[in-house]
């Protein structure tokens, strides 16, 4: 095998670059079906990378069905079909505007050669389980967003841990030998509100609007972080389950809303009453989207960085990185508060 010039500035780890080099060599005919590949020692010596890195690359090529190994004889090209070198199953709860940002950045950072199918469970536990179980073994990597109040650890454990990335929601019963990239909702809501505390104190009460009755999932940490912030800083507060009546809005109060429908309803009702956002009534939305930058002269948000989450998820998939990682969140001040 020719010496590989590794790109040290690439987000792709060396073992992934080695995989892509071998795949390219299969595609251009340098390696043909049945041909013996250079040994792990030969590749390590000629390319200056660790034996474990080469072994990891060969193991991945074997899992992709491109390479087979014979004990004592080495590795051989078993297939020249490289079309699905990485075939990824993605399971989201729903394709909301901010999840679309996450998905777009995931795809952009994975690269064009990787095949992805996306599915949605819409917070239906049976649909979630059926989609996972019916697709076991059909993909060589799984990205799962387990947005449920129920514990889904046993379902997730059906997927080999080396082929699984859990996204957006922590699963505490799974150890750090899994790949988990999540939001810490309790800390995010607390610190986001803390950044906005001077603006919040202009108002008599801060109201948390959880969701409408047909939306089934609100992370537990949201309520805990909200209550702790208000109690720590002596903010008068209330929590309501929905925003379905105009009477829920009161002048000189501030509101934290989650759903896009509640956001639009809030703005329409405020306009009807002649109330100006950021003066007569305050509004914070959870999770940023491009439209919130311009809607009603700008909506203040507490938001996970979904672009970063998509990029980071792609890096973890490509590098097979394991561990539990918190994604960044921030408060963005605009005119609505």
Q: What pLDDT, in 10s, does the model give residues 125-167?
A: 999 999 999 988 778 899 999 998 889 999 999 998 888 999 9
Measured CA to CA, the distance from residue 170 to residue 186 in angstroms comes to: 12
pLDDT digits (tens, 9 = 90+) for 258-317: 888 889 999 999 999 999 999 999 999 999 989 999 999 999 999 999 999 999 999 999
The pairing of strands 300-304 and 237-240 is unpaired
If DSSP codes are grouped into helix, strand and coil, which group holds residue 225?
helix
Q: Which of 37-46, 111-120, 289-298 has the highest mean pLDDT?
A: 289-298
Q: What is the pLDDT of residue 1?
A: 57
Q: What is the pLDDT of residue 213?
A: 52
Instruction: State the Rg of the chain over Cα.
Output: 24
Strands (DSSP E) contained in the chain are: 67-70, 74-77, 87-92, 115-120, 141-144, 164-168, 179-182, 206-209, 237-240, 254-257, 282-286, 300-304, 323-326, 329-332
Residue scoring higher pLDDT (107 or 244):
107
Band of pLDDT at residue 24, cut at 50, 70 and 90: confident
Candidates 181, 311, 209, 213; CA nearest to 269 is 209
pLDDT digits (tens, 9 = 90+) for 64-81: 778 888 877 889 998 887
Candidates 194, 198, 162, 154; CA nearest to 322 is 162
Its pTM stands at 0.73
Q: What is the pLDDT of residue 56?
A: 86
Q: How far apart are the first and last CA of the chain?
A: 62
Domains along the sequence of the chain with CATH? 14-77 (1.10.10.10), 87-183+306-329 (3.40.50.2300), 186-304 (3.40.50.2300)
pLDDT exceeds 80 at position 123: yes
Return the H-helix or E-strand segment holding 84. Answer: none
Of the ranges 46-60, 81-95, 276-290, which one carries the lowest mean pLDDT score?
81-95
Region of 115 on the Ramachandran plot (φ > 0 left; ψ -120 to 50 alpha; else beta)? beta
Q: What is the pLDDT of residue 4?
A: 67
Measured CA to CA, the distance from residue 57 to residue 67 in angstroms comes to: 10
- Token code pair at residue 217: 């999932």
């Amino acid at each position: 095998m020719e010496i590989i010039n590794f790109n040290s500035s690439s987000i792709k780890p060396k073992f992934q670059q080695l995989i892509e080099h071998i795949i390219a060599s299969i595609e251009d005919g340098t390696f043909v079906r049945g041909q013996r590949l250079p040994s792990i020692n030969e590749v390590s010596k000629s390319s200056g990378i660790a034996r474990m890195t080469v072994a990891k690359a060969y193991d991945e090529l074997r899992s992709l069905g491109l390479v087979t190994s014979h004990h004592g004889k080495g590795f051989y090209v078993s297939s020249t079909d490289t079309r699905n070198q990485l075939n990824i199953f993605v399971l989201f709860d729903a394709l909301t505007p901010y999840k679309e940002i996450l998905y777009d950045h995931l795809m952009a950072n994975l690269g064009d050669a990787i095949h992805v199918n996306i599915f949605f469970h819409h917070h239906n536990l049976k649909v979630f389980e059926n989609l996972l179980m019916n697709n076991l073994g059909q993909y060589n990597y799984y990205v799962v967003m387990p947005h449920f109040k129920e514990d889904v650890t046993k379902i997730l454990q059906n997927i080999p841990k080396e082929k699984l990335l859990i996204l957006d929601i922590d699963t505490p019963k799974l150890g750090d030998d899994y790949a988990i990239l999540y939001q810490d909702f309790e800390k995010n809501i607390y610190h986001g509100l803390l950044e906005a505390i001077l603006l919040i104190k202009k108002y008599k009460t801060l109201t948390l609007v959880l969701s409408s009755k047909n939306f089934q999932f609100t992370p537990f940490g949201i309520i805990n972080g909200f209550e702790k912030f208000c109690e720590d800083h002596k903010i008068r507060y209330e929590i309501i389950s929905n925003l379905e009546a105009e009477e829920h809005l009161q002048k000189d109060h501030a509101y934290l809303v989650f759903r896009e429908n509640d956001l639009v309803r809030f703005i329409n009702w405020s306009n009807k009453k002649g109330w100006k956002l950021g003066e007569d009534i305050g509004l914070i939305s959870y999770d940023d989207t491009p439209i919130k930058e311009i809607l009603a002269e700008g909506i203040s948000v507490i938001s996970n960085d979904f672009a970063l989450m998509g990029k980071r998820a792609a890096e973890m998939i490509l590098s097979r990185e394991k561990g539990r990682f918190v994604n960044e969140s921030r408060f963005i001040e605009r005119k609505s508060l």
